[in-house]
Amino acid sequence: MQIVCGSQVCQVTVFARGAVVTRRVELPAGTTVPEGDLELVIPEVTIRSEPGSFRAQLDSGRRSVVLVDTVVVPPVGPVQPGGSQAKLDELKLRMDRVQAEIDRLSTQRQRLSKQFPDPALRTTSLVEKVDERIADSIATAGLLAEVQRQLGEKQQLLEQKLSELAQEKAAAELRLSQSPSSERQGRSQPTRKVTVRITGSGPLATLSVSYVIPAARFFPAYTLRLLDGGKRATWTVEAHVAQQSGEDWNGVRLSLSTADLIFDARLPELPSLRFGRAQPTARRGYRPAPEGLERLFAGYDRGFVPGQNPTDGAAPEPVVQAASERTPQTDALQFDDSLSDEPTWATRAETAEAELSKKGALPPPSPPQFSAPAGIPPSPPPAPMYSMPAPGGAPMSLAPAPQAPPLAKSAGMFRGEGGIGSLQGKAKEAKRSRSVARTFAGGGGGGYDDDDGSPFADSVGALPALEESPAMPDAIEPQDAWLDFDQLLLSGPEDPLFRGKLKRRSDDQAQHKLQQSVRTIEQLSAPSGLVDPLHSRGQFDHRFDAEGLLKIPSDGKLHRVAILSAEGQPTLRLLTVPRERADVYREAELQNPCHAPLLAGPVDVYVDGGLLTTDHISHVDRGGSLRVGMGVEDRVRVARNVRAEEESAGLLGGSTAMNHTVTIELSSSLGQPIQIEVLDRLPVSEDKSLTVELTAEKPAHTPYDQAERGAPIRRGMKWRLLLPPAGKAKIEYQYRLSFSAKSEIIGGNRRD
């Protein structure tokens, strides 16, 4: 029994790349759920989802999920765009027509402007009808001027109309960007239908279906709001989220995760070197096709392929074959048909094979034959084709090594179409099949007309000759794309190229839309200051859960949403580094108020409701401290002056001493007392013959290593001064450089 159910998106987890969408399945009102097996059909699921990622889960109860299957539902009629898209397309066509008319009028005016009426007085007598010729020329010139004036007026009106259409187009584009996804896509779009098979008895619990959307990403952002003159602070974690899944996320619970959506958790295999007997090669998880695979279909070819069945009126070609080379009857098809009373294609093939054995003209098993054009003799059976080996032996150089080709390109003949990252579709596969068929039939080289750098093509873009194809490898190891088991099909005997082998299911339309949406998200131009979480997440991953329900449309654009917020107690301070720059900076320092680490990203700082500045923070761990810049304080001035004196030192004047006196003066014009931090640094030398010593200071400093900023330094100095309202302060310290009189400091003995 099948029940068509409705569904609604209720939970979304956005990763650094991709998202997991969860739908809550709702049974129709008044539906009685029977006991035993049951199939629930969920229609209208976006086609931009991964077909092999669908999962179903029952919350509780005695029922269980036994199967989840998805199929692509093609549209019933032609694609019909939505109202906003249709209006935009109509405006574009009207603008194109108006622009074409403007171009035509402009060209006509330019052609008329080059026309000049000539009375031709030089070629006639000077006294023969001169006045008439001049009058005709003047009239013609006036006519041309009148025509140009009329054309100019028409062109001016059309340009005004084009400007109005441009304004309507801008409004239509804005309306389209703000419209829901269903209106933008229109009607008659392909969708996916999900079928969930449930078994068991008892009431049906809450059912949820989840799937992966590759076209989604986010960028972290933050907002700091300082209130009551900096006494209170509200820290808000936000995010710029973009998605193009084909369905709007309305009223969903959003989560952001820094983890990888797909992560290979297999342990690496560490090979060991051993002395002793050779160890057997470890068995691989994948095996190539068994030997004699074509012999499995020999009976089918003789029984159903025209020209292979001796009972269809065509006499088989006599083939001389030794008895020892004949294939035993039981080797052709090895399975039991005793349970079936009806003759199958296998039993009929065995009967035909037995009759040919009695006549002594049993033809050898052959691959499927392709019909050749009239007048062209058939070609011998083709050699098996496999993927071309990757080029090797490239010379080493100082230049960076080229990147490895993608997996989809290296899969060769065993690479199907329709997977993510595979740009080949059914049309290219059909062209490849026709090319191979022409080559098998002997009808020429069968040029391969695909110019996308496929491994099927040689240097000139044609299919390599069959006799030059590489030998069959000992083992064929499938690529990672072949781990998508939901997309694998075992071809039947009617498929002459892939029968008895696995191939990927073709889903060109769905994969095209999926790849197009992924490219749109990857090429998204993010505003300056946003940092990709893949680059700032560190060694550990975390998930941020939004506190409320959010709405994110499926338009491929960034939407800023609030995830969570927390209260904090900020500490406002003034900071200056006069050695680098004579400015005093304001900073707000507070402990991380969230129970989660913070990623790198921009911070918008608001003071009492007004935007002050935009700063940037780096990665902050849980419980760590963060500092946000608040701009320059112009009402506090700082000046740093250095005075150097050189003198001889040592027993006989064999050393040189450079005495430096550094003075730092601060002045405030604020009407309240302030506390300011002054940072400075003594010179540092790795030369043991050069000594640096602090001789005097007032007031005393505190050692400073700058470890909290992630850039530690040596011999740092920090002063914390309290300036009264409209007050001043002064710092003075002295240090001495001592070195040999025969030496000189590179860059000059004066150090400031």
Confidence at residue 212, expressed as pLDDT on a 0 to 100 scale: 93
Residues 583 and 451 in one domain: no
Contacts of residue 58, defined as CB under 8 A and 6 or more positions apart, other chains included, come to 64, 65, 198, 204, 205, 206, 207
Q: Are residues 705 and 588 in the same domain?
A: yes
**475 within domain boundaries:** yes
Instruction: Identify the DSSP state of 50.
Output: -
| Token duo for residue 620 | 């902050």
Of 658, 709, 714, 729, the C-alpha closest to 681 is 714
Chain Cα centroid distance, residue 127: 84
Tell me the two tokens of residue 392. 């090797």
End residue of a domain, out of 185, 210, 240: 185
What are 667-680's pLDDT values in tens digits?
Answer: 999 888 888 999 99
The crossing angle, in degrees rounded to 10, of helices 83-113 and 130-178 is 160
Instruction: For residue 705, give the nearest of 693, 714, 694, 695 by alpha carbon.
Output: 714
pLDDT band at 506 (very low <50, low <70, confident <90, very high): low
* Mean of per-residue pLDDT scores for the chain: 75
- Could you tell me if residue 177 is inside a domain? yes
pLDDT tens-digit map of 510-531: 777 788 888 888 888 888 889 9
610 and 694 belong to one structural domain: yes
The model's pLDDT over 562-620, given as tens digits with 9 standing for 90+, comes to 999 999 888 888 999 998 888 999 888 888 888 888 999 999 989 888 888 888 888 88
CB 430 within 8 A of CB 417: no
Beta bridge mates, 502? 490
**Vertex 144, ends 139 and 146: CA angle to 5°?**
95
Q: Is 564 in contact with 229 (CB distance < 8 Å)?
A: no
Question: Would you place residue 388 in the very low, low, confident or very high pLDDT band (cuts 50, 70, 90)?
Answer: very low
Tokens of 595: 């129970």
Residue that is last in its domain, among 500, 523, 547: 500
* Greatest mean pLDDT range, 126-130, 253-257, 532-536, 657-661: 253-257
pLDDT digits (tens, 9 = 90+) for 318-340: 444 433 333 334 333 343 433 34
Give the tokens for residue 59. 């919350």
Q: Considering only CA atoms, which of 44, 1, 14, 12 is closest in space to residue 26?
A: 44
Average pLDDT over residues 700-715: 85
pLDDT interval class at 507 (50, 70, 90): low
Residue 221 inside a domain? The answer is no
Q: Are residues 460 and 598 in the same domain?
A: no
Which is nearest to 183 in space by CA: 35, 82, 96? 82
- In this structure, the strands spanning 502-504 and 559-568 are unpaired
Range of the domain at 429: 412-500
pLDDT at 384: 38
In the chain, the number of structural domains is 3
Query: 99 pLDDT band (50/70/90 cuts)?
Result: very high
My answer on whether 585 and 493 are in the same domain is no
Asked whether residue 346 is domain-assigned, the answer is: no
The total of other beta-carbon atoms located within 10 Å of residue 562's CB is: 15
490 and 577 housed in the same domain: no
Q: Examine the fold and report which residue of 500, 522, 549 is the final residue of a domain before the chain moves on.
A: 500
In a domain, 261, yes or no: no
* Together in a domain, 733 and 598: yes
Answer whether residue 407 shows pLDDT above 80. no
CB 663 within 8 A of CB 578: no
Residues 486 and 631 in one domain: no
Q: 276 lies in a domain?
A: no
In a domain, 593, yes or no: yes
| Shared domain check, 589 and 492 | no
Tens-digit pLDDT profile for residues 137-166: 888 888 888 999 999 999 999 999 999 999
What one-character-per-residue DSSP string does 133-202 give?
HHHHHHHHHHHHHHHHHHHHHHHHHHHHHHHHHHHHHHHHHHHHHHS-HHHHH-BS--EEEEEEEEES-S
Distances in Å between the alpha carbon of 162 and those of 25, 100, 104, 158, 172? 50, 11, 15, 6, 15
Do the domain assignments include residue 399? no
Element (H, E) at 349: helix 345-359
End-to-end Cα, the chain, rounded Å = 87
Do 455 and 603 lie in one domain? The reply is no
Instruction: Let me know whether 580 and 677 are in one domain.
Output: yes
Going from the C-alpha of 140 to that of each of 144, 153, 752, the distances in angstroms are 6, 20, 86
Distance CA 721, CA 699 (A): 9
Which of helix, strand or coil describes residue 254? strand
596: which 2 tokens?
Answer: 């989660």
Residue bearing the bigger pLDDT, 342 or 198: 198
In a shared domain, residues 593 and 493: no
